[in-house]
């Protein structure tokens, strides 16, 4: 497989998400970092890019400079990853899509549903990829769960129980900690804090596994630490278009929950249970049967799960591989495109602009419901 050339915006020195993207993109060797604008500080960003092996002339001081230079090159970047602060995603993603680049945008894709609608429209018009990094959907056993649901093994899906609860914003002494505070400031974080930041991954997984999208939302938001303007805990009920009901809990004050992303799916023929902290086991209970432990790497898994797995059964494969699966999806599609071939249909499951849009719709509806005392809000599609 020819190496694809890859550009990166944001994710410079000191960033948490930057290395995660570089590991994910590099893990299979599909992508080579070729151009970058990594930092708000132009010089620091350039130096860091060069350290990472980017040629000097493609190490940029900011994304606009990068866009201007890269758009006219004949050796075009195959993919551009956007890992800048949230409120810049829309502008940058839009600009690169309009310039004809494929894009992988960190979540959230935008700050509002309206902007997200716009991105979806541009993406459709340009025919370019706009992936959004709901990377937990790259776990092999989440793809297994999706395949089991799609194949009808659970029958009609009745109920989904999704959680993303952690305890890392539970310390009252952090009130002035800038790393925490901005998340609860509407001016910087928008209409939602913990749901938009953490719970939205549980929301995406629920929709991804069920193969459904939301039609109505009722939410209760709570600010359990004094002085927070946005919610640090939320309970959200979601009606999905295939008839499933999703109950989603998300929290930032759940001391002792290290990560807390879990998914349970209950259909008429059986139930599934999975927790992100131990992602290599999926618990499957057929109706009136015994619970079985589906191990990643087992014989008999779905083609999508086999494809998303790298190492032998009995090992923790981990988040870096899950995340790399999104890059692998894109690499296969881009390589097929380059060779004039149809892409592997299994590669099309990567989280995309529509997922980015549904997330924003869900966030806005949940916030509106919470403000109105839990009233059910219809979601327009």
The residue behind tokens 């928008």 is 190
| Min CB(203)–a copy of itself separation in Å | 15
Q: 339: which DSSP letter?
A: T
Looking at the Cβ atoms of 23 and 336, the one nearer to a copy of itself is 23
Whether the upstream peptide bond of residue 312 has omega within 30° of 0, thus cis, is: no
- Listed residue (50, 166, 139) closest to 321, CA to CA: 139
| Min CB(144)–a copy of itself separation in Å | 12
x-marked contacts with a copy of itself along 275-314 as a string, rule CB under 8 A:
-xxxxx--xxxxxx-xxxxxx-xxx----------xxxxx
Q: 345: which DSSP letter?
A: G
- Listed residue (293, 275, 245, 271) closest to 149, CA to CA: 271
Q: Which 70-99 residues touch a copy of itself, going by CB under 8 A? A: none
CA distance 234 to 342: 42
254 binds a copy of itself (CB under 8 A): yes
Q: Which 136-165 residues touch a copy of itself, going by CB under 8 A? A: 158-159, 161, 165
CA distance 99 to 124: 14
273 binds a copy of itself (CB under 8 A): yes
338 binds a copy of itself (CB under 8 A): no
Handedness of CA 226, 227, 228, 234 (dihedral sign): positive
227 binds a copy of itself (CB under 8 A): no
56 binds a copy of itself (CB under 8 A): no
Q: Which 181-200 residues touch a copy of itself, going by CB under 8 A? A: none
176 binds a copy of itself (CB under 8 A): no
| Min CB(292)–a copy of itself separation in Å | 4
CA torsion angle 282 149 357 378 (round to 10): -110
- Listed residue (231, 235, 257) closest to 246, CA to CA: 235
272 binds a copy of itself (CB under 8 A): yes
| Min CB(117)–a copy of itself separation in Å | 28
């Amino acid at each position: 497989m020819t190496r694809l050339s890859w550009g990166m915006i944001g994710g410079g020195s000191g960033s948490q998400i930057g290395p995660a993207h570089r590991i994910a993109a590099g893990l299979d060797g599909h992508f080579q970092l070729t151009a970058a604008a990594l930092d708000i500080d132009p010089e620091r960003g350039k130096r860091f890019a060069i350290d990472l092996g980017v040629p000097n002339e493609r190490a940029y001081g900011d994304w606009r400079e990068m866009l201007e230079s890269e758009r006219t090159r004949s050796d075009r970047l195959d993919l551009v990853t956007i890992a800048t602060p949230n409120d810049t995603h829309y502008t940058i993603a839009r600009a690169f899509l309009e310039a004809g680049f494929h894009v992988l945008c960190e979540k959230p894709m935008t700050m509002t549903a309206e902007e997200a609608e716009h991105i979806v429209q541009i993406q459709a018009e340009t025919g370019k990829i706009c992936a959004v990094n709901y990377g937990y959907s790259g776990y092999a056993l989440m793809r297994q769960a999706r395949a089991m649901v799609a194949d009808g093994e659970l029958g009609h899906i009745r109920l989904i129980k999704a959680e993303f609860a952690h305890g890392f914003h539970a310390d009252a002494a952090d009130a002035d900690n800038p790393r925490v505070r901005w998340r609860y400031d509407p001016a910087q974080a928008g209409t939602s804090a913990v749901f938009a930041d953490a719970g939205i991954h549980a929301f995406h997984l629920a929709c991804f596994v069920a193969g459904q999208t939301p039609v109505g939302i009722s939410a209760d938001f709570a600010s359990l630490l004094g002085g927070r303007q946005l919610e640090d805990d939320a309970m959200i009920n979601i009606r999905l278009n295939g008839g499933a009901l999703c109950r989603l809990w998300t929290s930032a004050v759940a001391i002792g929950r290290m990560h807390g992303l879990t998914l349970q799916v209950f259909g008429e023929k059986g139930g599934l249970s999975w927790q992100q902290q131990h992602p290599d086991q999926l618990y499957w209970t057929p109706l009136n049967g015994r619970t079985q432990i589906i191990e990643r790497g087992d014989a008999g898994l779905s083609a999508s799960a086999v494809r998303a797995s790298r190492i032998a059964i009995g090992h923790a494969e981990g988040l870096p591989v899950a995340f790399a699966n999104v890059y692998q999806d894109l690499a296969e599609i881009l390589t097929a495109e380059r060779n004039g071939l149809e892409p592997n249909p299994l590669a099309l499951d990567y989280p995309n602009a529509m997922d980015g849009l549904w997330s924003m719709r869900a966030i806005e509806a949940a916030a509106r419901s919470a403000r109105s005392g839990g009233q059910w809000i219809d979601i327009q599609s």
